[in-house]
Structures are given as structure tokens and as C-alpha cells.
Amino acid sequence: MKLEAVTTEYRGHARDLGRQAAESKDIDLVVALGGDGTVNEVVNGLLHAGPQPDSLPGLAVVPGGSTNVFARALGLPNDPVEATGALLDALRTGSERTVGLGLTAGTPGTEDEAVPPRWFTFSAGLGFDAGVVGRVEQQRERGKRSTHALYVRQVVRQFLGEADRRHGTITLDRPGEDPVEDLVVSIVSNTSPWSFLGNKPLYPTPDASFDTGLDVLGLKKLSTPAVTRYGTQLLMSTPERGPRGKNAVTLHDLSSFTLHSKVPLPLQMDGDHLGLRTSVTFTGVRRALRVIV
């Protein structure tokens, strides 16, 4: 095995390296050592010209971040040394799978139309959860370590500062169906679990899978009782049961839908804050990427 190791030096460098690998005829495998943000960049580089799982290099992930949702959702150990051993065994035996991914784009006819498409591996969100991600990134820029306690604190601060927590501004439109209106929270999942709190997996959409389209959990109210109820349900969620209630909407295996907001809201993908948007179109693309597991 011929191995070339490259250290990323700037934001977007991993995407550039993934694109170089996709355009090379001599590279069979790209190994990403890092967190979910690094993995997302590599995936967007590999798929810059679209999904071609049979002709593009495969992807292997060695977890090196604080949460490592994508690697853990694939069933890899969270320890980088143990994960390396598992990947070497998979390479020896030729163990791999082709997984589906999510793709976002600006919605035609809106001010976000010119926003370039972007892939995500496990989750995206418009509104509340993206606001939390943005707050965490601000704290990290100030020198704070990315810990689960930091995320919990920013969830509380985002809740206290949420102006529209009782009457949501988000509408979900999908072909052939009535719109889902007045959402405050819109969590889009490409797999399950959605994230981890320490070693505790969280399942807002338990049926989400790399083998199906996208799943959505929408909440129409974030009052204090509602947050207490849905937060408790999320902490107690299992692969069989997620949050539920009269203000919760769960949609499974969607191939395409659009989230519109009456006001600009933050957007996140794979834990990366991408600024404010008023309209985003989501597509679930099956069999998009070949991964070593």
C-alpha cells in the first residue's frame, strides 16, 4: 500500500484534497482523520462532479473530533486506534458499503438561488439547532474547547434568545403533499443516531438510515413545558422510539423537500454553521458514496 499523508492547513483544504483525489487516476482510497467537519469537506471534494461510487475513490474515516457522528453511525469505534484496526481489517477483507447522502441547494426563484449545492453525511438543520452550532463556533473562536458541556450551555442560551419559539417561521413543502407550517425546529437526518451526548446516542428520527431518503423532525412550539417534554424524550430516545406529541412532526424517507422561512435563519450541515438562509431545498441521494467499514 502506497500512502501519502497531507495535513490540512486552512478551512476548505480537505475539500480541495478530496477533489484532487477524485480527479486523480492513481488514488483508490481517501482516509480522513478528523472530526465531522473534516469528513464533510472531504466528501464535498470527492463528489464535486456528482456521485459516481463505482469510479471514485472510496472513503475511510478515522475519528479525530469531539463527537464523530458519521464514523460512529457507520459502526466504527470512537477511539482512533481501534478504528484504524477495524479499517485495516475491512481493507484486508474488502468490506465496504455504499451509503446515501443528503444534498442541499438554494431554492430556484428565491434570493438563495445562487447558493452552490453542498453534501452532508448525517444531519442538517434550519433554525434552532443551527443557531446552537453557530453559538458553539463563536465560543471556539474565543478559545473554548468543543465539549458536550459547551453544547448544553449554548442550547440553553439559544432557547432563551429564541424570538419565535412559540410561533415558528418555517414551512416544509414537498411534492404532492400539504405543507407543514409554523415549525420552530427542523432537524434533517440522513442516518440514526443523529448525534451523541457523551456516549449517549440521540434518536430524534429513529427510522433514518443511510439506505433510505431523508428524515425530518419538526417541532411547532418551544415553550418551556414543550422543551422540557421533548428534551426529556430525546434524552430517553431509542432506535425504536423518538420524540412524539401534538407539536412534533416526523417525516420518513423523503426524496426531496424545501424549507422556507419568513425570516432569515441559520443553517447547519454536519455541525458546520453556514450562515443565514430563507429557503433551502434538500434532496436524499441514495448510493452516493462508497465507504470502508
3-state secondary structure 189-245: ECCCCCEEECCEEECCCCCCCCCCCEEEEEECCCCHHHHHHHHHHHHCCECCECCCC
What pLDDT was estimated at residue 182?
93
Would you state the cell numbers that stand for residue 159, as one nine-digit string?
432557547
pLDDT at 153: 77
Residue 164 has what pLDDT?
A: 57
Closest CA to 205 of 193, 195, 197, 196: 193
pLDDT attached to residue 99: 98
Quick one: pLDDT at residue 280?
96
Nearest to 107 by CA among 177, 176, 174: 174
pTM assigned to the model: 0.91
pLDDT of residue 145: 74
Distance CA 223, CA 217 (A): 17
Instruction: Report the topology of domain 13-100.
Output: Rossmann fold (3.40.50)
Q: What is the pLDDT of residue 225?
A: 87
- CATH class of segment(s) 102-287: mainly beta
Return the domain boundaries, the chain. Answer: 13-100, 102-287
In the chain (293 residues long), the average pLDDT of successive 10-residue segments reads: 93 97 95 97 97 94 95 96 97 97 93 91 91 77 73 72 71 96 95 92 97 96 86 94 95 97 93 93 97 97
What is the DSSP code string of 67-127?
S-HHHHHTT--SSHHHHHHHHHHHHHHT-EEEEEEEEEEEPTTSTTTTSPPEEESSEEEES
CA distance 205 to 238: 10
